[in-house]
Structure 1
């Protein structure tokens, strides 16, 4: 039985479409911050595959409430892997991670061999989260990708100078399935086949023709939270996908 945490999120919904028989507990059913509750749930269901999507992903939110970010991203993940190691040690654990584990100071693409060097607290929690999983003793797959859902872009402006090898959520869901089917373990980057700015990405979204361009310089005039500027990743382990 497959377990998908965070199944109500944008990527989670796409994965549920691909794996409709999965366990998809709500937060009240599986509060990952609660070690005892996690252990009880895992002992009861004993999944053979877990795709762990639950995370606090807002960069400003993580900076503002570091305790909460750490509790969800790091301690919650530790609770999951410890419970699985105890009650379902043969479980394959798939972690959704991010290019924000890198500092993004230049636009050189980062592959799986590059050493993380996060420049904000969100990236730090994800870097530690990856370490928790990689040292867990479970068969694991750590997927890094950068995506948004294929729907109306939620902001009035988008950066012309913040770039990545973006995909849409349904592309990443397919990539996760493909990599799992291939039996890969360790770190794998699921990437688009071209570099796009956030503005170019926004313009590809439906009903988003009115999105205006902006710059990181403009952002920092009113915001102090450091964003990862370049999130360009490539893969030496898997093929790139065409966005769309």
Structure 2
């Protein structure tokens, strides 16, 4: 099996590539010039925004793991170009040069509506207002209608193995004026990698699957865990369901988490 990974220099992709390389998997990483990849992975220069550059990357692959995304910017045009236009270009390249390849795309649990009455479920209607989740929903639709063999992984708040994501929580809470009691479904890097491996077996073909652990956690708790507490608040939380995901479908596929809660990650020293 030859696997192409996009976003291989990002928080999730770099760790996934290292895992694949250590396991001896034949993997390619789509990178821009000058970018390094873990030993054992093959860099292929290209850019998702330049369709003509993707032929070499996808030719001969048996699977594509599409992790590349832009979200930490206030430039909405950049978000839409990277997340929607880039995905369209990759889909077109796959259809032209690797039509039998399994296409696994990472999306986000942020797609679920802010006025939800329960934890987000894969079958729920989604009408996100922010550019990042809205662009991801649009990209999901492109993939679902592509005719390719696809699966979509809606990731919770990814953290762990020294990625620094939890450490960014206080700044994110301040920037977006999030209530400290706002709760997010989390998932550890190690379980993200294991889910991708499971998706590559075909068990998730044609499915959207929420990827989250067993213990939704408040911003207040997350910030406290990294030693940068945010101010508590006695004001009521507008909607306690916002940010929470239902992981029943993943469990129904027989998947068992290795890091079921962030507190276990703390005990194991793998934050």
* Matched-pair contact (CA < 8 Å) for 2:111–2:134: yes
Matched, 1:166 2:183: no
Change (3 A) 1:213 1:179: same
Task: Identify the match of residue 36 of structure 1 among 36, 52, 69.
Answer: 52
Does the residue aligned with 1:144 lie in a helix, a strand or coil?
A: strand
**Which fold has the larger relative contact order, with Cα–Cα distance below 8 Å and residues 6 or more apart in sequence?**
1
Q: What CA distance in whole angstroms lies between the structure 1 residues aligned with 2:211 and 2:11?
A: 16
* Matched-pair contact (CA < 8 Å) for 1:11–1:170: no
Q: What CA distance in whole angstroms lies between the structure 2 residues aligned with 1:215 and 1:116?
A: 30
Q: What CA distance in whole angstroms lies between the structure 2 residues aligned with 1:27 and 1:216?
A: 44
Does the residue aligned with 1:238 lie in a helix, a strand or coil?
A: helix
Cα deviation, residue 88, structure 1: 0.7
Q: Matches of residues 193-204 of structure 1 in structure 2 within 5 Å? A: 193-204=214-225
Q: What CA distance in whole angstroms lies between the structure 1 residues aligned with 2:153 and 2:203?
A: 13
Matched, 1:87 2:97: yes
Q: What does residue 132 of structure 2 align with?
A: 122
Change (3 A) 1:174 1:200: farther
Cα deviation, residue 216, structure 1: 9.6
Where in structure 1 are there 5+ consecutive unaligned residues?
219-228
Q: What does residue 111 of structure 1 align with?
A: 121
Across the two proteins, how many residue pairs are aligned to each other? 224
* Matched-pair contact (CA < 8 Å) for 1:149–1:170: no
Q: What does residue 209 of structure 2 align with?
A: 188
* Matched-pair contact (CA < 8 Å) for 1:74–1:126: yes
Task: Identify the match of residue 229 of structure 2 among 212, 226, 239.
Answer: 212
Q: What does residue 19 of structure 1 align with?
A: 20
Task: Identify the match of residue 145 of structure 1 among 126, 136, 155.
Answer: 155
Higher mean C-alpha displacement, 160-169 vs 75-84: 160-169
Cα deviation, residue 162, structure 1: 2.3
Does the residue aligned with 1:181 lie in a helix, a strand or coil?
A: coil
Q: What does residue 223 of structure 1 align with?
A: none
Q: What does residue 84 of structure 2 align with?
A: 74
Length-normalised TM-score, structure 2: 0.75
* Matched-pair contact (CA < 8 Å) for 1:39–1:79: no
Length-normalised TM-score, structure 1: 0.82
Q: What CA distance in whole angstroms lies between the structure 2 residues aligned with 1:119 and 1:106?
A: 14
Cα deviation, residue 36, structure 1: 1.2
Cα deviation, residue 92, structure 1: 0.5
Where in structure 2 are there 5+ consecutive unaligned residues?
34-44, 174-178, 236-240, 266-271
Cα deviation, residue 182, structure 1: 5.5
Q: What CA distance in whole angstroms lies between the structure 2 residues aligned with 1:13 and 1:197?
A: 27
